[in-house]
Structures are given as structure tokens and as C-alpha cells.
Amino acid sequence: MTLVVHAGKAYYEELLPKLEATLVSIEIPTEGLMFGETLAWYNEHL
């Protein structure tokens, strides 16, 4: 199972350590992108 996170880091950072002990893989498609790059990513994928 994969959890795809579409939220700011402040919203998911406490959840990540808890999920590491599970079989859930985590995908954060816009991690590390600047604001404009994030907007461009969503324009391309939505």
C-alpha cells in the first residue's frame, strides 16, 4: 500500500516516523520543490 501525501511538511512530518514501522510506503511527489515548481507540478498532473 502506498500513501501519497499532498500536504505541507508541517502537516505530515509527525506522521512519517509512525508509518516507518508499517508496510505502508510513502510518496511525496512535490517534496523539495519550490512554490512555483509545485504549482507547475499540479498543473501538469491534475
Number of domains in the chain: 1
Task: Please name the residues in contact with 25: beta carbons below 8 A apart, sequence gap of 6 or more.
Answer: 1, 2, 3
Written in H, E and C, the secondary structure of 4-35 is ECCCCHHHHCCHHHHHCCCCCEEECCCCCCCH
For position 20, what pLDDT does the model report? 87
For position 35, what pLDDT does the model report? 95
Among the listed residues 19, 21, 38, the one whose alpha carbon sits nearest the alpha carbon of residue 29? 38
pLDDT, tens digit (0-9, with 9 covering 90-100), for 6-39: 999 999 999 999 998 899 999 999 999 999 999 9
Q: Structural domain of residue 7, as residue ranges?
A: 2-45
For position 44, what pLDDT does the model report? 97
Span 1-7, average pLDDT: 94
Q: What is the value of pTM for the model shown?
A: 0.78
Q: Which residue has the cell 523539495?
A: 32
